[in-house]
Structure 1
Amino acid sequence: MTGPVGDEPLGELEVVHTFTGPMPTGVSMSHTGRIFVNFPKWGDEVPATVVELRDGVEVPFPNQGWNSPSADDDAQAFVSVQSIVVDPADRLWVLDTGSPMFQPTKPGGPKLVRVDLDSDTVAQVITFPADVALPSTYLNDVRFDLRRGEAGIAYITDSSDSGPNGIIVVDLATGQSWRRLHEHPSTKAEPLETFRPVVEGRPFLERPADGDPKPVSMGCDGIAIAADGSRLYYCPLASRRWYSVATDALVDRMVSDDEVAATVRDEGDKGGGSDGLETDDAGRLYLTSYEHDAVLRRRTDGEYETLVHDPRLLWPDTMSVAADGHLYVTANQLHRQATYQRGQDLRRKPYVLFRTRIDAGPVLLR
């Protein structure tokens, strides 16, 4: 006689590393197999906001000095890093929010920093003017196309939960940057009337220890670039819909904001809220699904499939496709933080870096 049937996992998840300290968000692999991870400063004790995993040890990267800021506007150190991405030329870019505990930013804090992996030294620091990185800005994630301009273009999401959302475009040769889709509806969190997220069977809301719950308000968060570089995909954290925009329009500063907006495409309902997005060199798109402990994949024929579903995928956050044919993904229990649990921290360590085989490689636009 058998008992009641429960939920069944789908796909194969391999544990790469477990974290017993602060919660991670970003992960990225070099073309030679080096693994980098970051930890934003959201209340945990964070000895280093960027590390390399070496033989199972979290080593400050590129060194402890760069992980020891003197202030929140220190342009020569990492303040609070949300994302790290290895670019098509095998260089690590560090996206620093300059916003520990989601505090207002100051010039010098928000920045994009290039670390050359042949020497493990910082080679470029790009800061943002005050009309690009606003006091409310939260630099969330970044993608690259090195074929454009003299040294390439970076695209960054501003996921602010308290101010304007949009896409920030960066010319890597000059360091110049500009905002696109500023406050466009596709970049905004949806209200509870149209999006009521449920995670682990419970409504996902900001729930202070005292006071009324309120909806999660993070805007455009996940970002991914098409395999041919023609379109940039993005999604608000608080939405089940996702969108894309023509990269030609984003990059050309002679194109008006209205003309950029005219190239936005509603990619439809993706079945759940997503944090991270990713693409592979076979033209497929990957979406984390934090409401379903899953990673979904949209095939080139437009059909969706579940790559992996597992109860251990408690808030799949950031994904990264590696040259070894695997998709790597962090699971960090974000929804169990005290912010969403009436002041009680319900996270249970360890947090986990997983990987699953996809038999494809990263998009390398170079």
Structure 2
Amino acid sequence: MKTIRIAAAIALAFSLNVQAAESVPQERPIGHAERVFAFHDAMPTGVSVSETGRIFVNFPQWGDDVKFSVGELRDGRVVAYPSQAANADFSSVQSVVADGRGKLWVLDTSAPGFAAPKAPKLVAVDLATDQVSISIAFPSSVILPTTYVNDVRFDFRVGAQGVAYVTDSSLSGPGAIIVLDLASGKAQRRLSGHASTSPDPDFIPTVEGESMKVRTGDGSTQKFTVASDGIALSADGQTLYYSPLSSRHLYSVPAALLRDPKVSEAQLAAAVKDLGEKGASDGLEADANGALYATDYEHNSIRKRAPDGSWTTIASDGRLLWPDTMSIGPDGYLYFTANQLHRQAIFHGGHDQREKSYGLFRVKIDARPAPTK
């Protein structure tokens, strides 16, 4: 009987302790991240909101059952965009970007599973007609066997029909910024292998308390290294911001120097600025007021860089598992995907730890997107 009374006392103590634990302090979320859509099938990476508020997303070929590469959110579901038939011409889409001028641009890596690219291209869909209107193949001179075109920004204030700035976020070769003239289709590969477009050799991310490394079934590991990834163009078009995914540093370079073929690589490298640490980012975005936004995938957060260079966290929430791509809508919200990229099987010995659904979130910033014209 005495043993029973002791056991009962211990059970009561544990019960009281559990009740007390229900009100223990815990990390507070920052800002108000509102989930606006849940994805129950393939994992999304990119999102873009047009000047009329239409929302587009994409799904790369990374092993999921991808029914279509580009989709639009309509009436509470994702439908193939511009059509299921048109999606047959996309190989593996990494980014979609609405340009503020009535077009949605699709960046097709042509590298499913990060294989050697076959024919990467940039495709424009006319949002008024929902028809493909432009398709530009990247010249072979700027595409290496290791190239993985990742994200793109546009400036229609320069050149006959504007230019596109594209990051090469190679996993095994040199990173770079590719400058593509939209009228001629000519391109330049700039800052190829420069420190600012390369993975930081000392960087190992920590996500959900674990060092993020490629882990095989036999227990061996290797570093996960990704070159230049996020990219943003300042509101005046003068400065291009970018960052390797495998780094916590933000870099900038004058856009005019990038475009000028007469500027040597040495001169261009000398003009690159290391703007210091911002956190480990996948996506970057700029607004019309001169602010810059960066995802912080180590801390489930979105950060804002004011024009004076100071940083603040505008959203931090346990649901924001690997915030990826961002886009500013005409409603003054910053939209972004959260896709649990770090939980993929490649990082956990072949065991996929992702939990559906994946999310599309937004946070109010009361700003408009940086203009492209």
Are 2:14 and 1:4 equivalent residues in the alignment? no
The equivalent of 1:197 in structure 2 is 205
Amino acid aligned to 1:20: H
The equivalent of 1:147 in structure 2 is 157
Q: 1:318 aligns with which of 312, 320, 325?
A: 325
State the distance in 2 between where 1:321 and 1:129 align: 30
Give CA-to-partner distance per residue, 1:315-365, whole Å, 9 cap, x none.
000000111100001000000000111110000000000011100000112
Amino acid aligned to 1:121: Q
State the distance in 2 between where 1:356 and 1:182 align: 35
State the distance in 2 between where 1:59 and 1:133 align: 31
The equivalent of 2:358 in structure 1 is 351
The equivalent of 2:39 in structure 1 is 19
Instruction: Give the unaligned 5+ runs of structure 2.
Output: 1-19
1:211 offset after TM fit, Å?
A: 4.8
| SS of match in other structure, 1:84 | strand
Instruction: Give the unaligned 5+ runs of structure 1.
Output: 69-76
Q: 2:57 aligns with which of 37, 41, 56?
A: 37
State the distance in 2 between where 1:125 and 1:258 align: 32
Are 2:70 and 1:60 equivalent residues in the alignment? no
> Is contact 2:241-2:250 (8 Å) kept?
yes
TM-score by length of 2: 0.93
The equivalent of 1:167 in structure 2 is 177
Q: Which runs of 4+ in 1 moved over 4 A?
A: none
State the distance in 2 between where 1:164 and 1:350 align: 34
1:197 offset after TM fit, Å?
A: 1.1
1:112 offset after TM fit, Å?
A: 0.4
The equivalent of 2:129 in structure 1 is 119
The equivalent of 1:230 in structure 2 is 238
The equivalent of 1:250 in structure 2 is 258
The equivalent of 2:14 in structure 1 is none
The equivalent of 1:279 in structure 2 is 286
> Is contact 1:159-1:221 (8 Å) kept?
yes
The equivalent of 1:294 in structure 2 is 301
Amino acid aligned to 1:184: H
> Is contact 1:41-1:80 (8 Å) kept?
yes
Amino acid aligned to 2:27: D
The equivalent of 1:335 in structure 2 is 342
State the distance in 2 between where 1:16 and 1:134 align: 38
Identity %: 53
Give CA-to-partner distance per residue, 1:13-64, whole Å, 9 cap, x none.
1111100000000000111111000000000000000001111111111111
TM-score by length of 1: 0.95
- Number of residues of Structure 1 aligned to a counterpart in Structure 2: 353
Give CA-to-partner distance per residue, 1:71-113, whole Å, 9 cap, x none.
xxxxxx110000000113131000000000111111xx31000
> Is contact 2:50-2:100 (8 Å) kept?
no
1:302 offset after TM fit, Å?
A: 1.5
The equivalent of 1:81 in structure 2 is 93
Amino acid aligned to 2:101: A
| SS of match in other structure, 2:271 | coil
State the distance in 1 between where 2:258 and 2:164 align: 11
| SS of match in other structure, 2:204 | coil
State the distance in 2 between where 1:242 and 1:324 align: 27
> Is contact 1:88-1:146 (8 Å) kept?
no
State the distance in 1 between where 2:100 and 2:160 align: 15
Amino acid aligned to 1:100: P
Give CA-to-partner distance per residue, 1:156-209, whole Å, 9 cap, x none.
000010112100001011111110001111111112xx3221001111111122
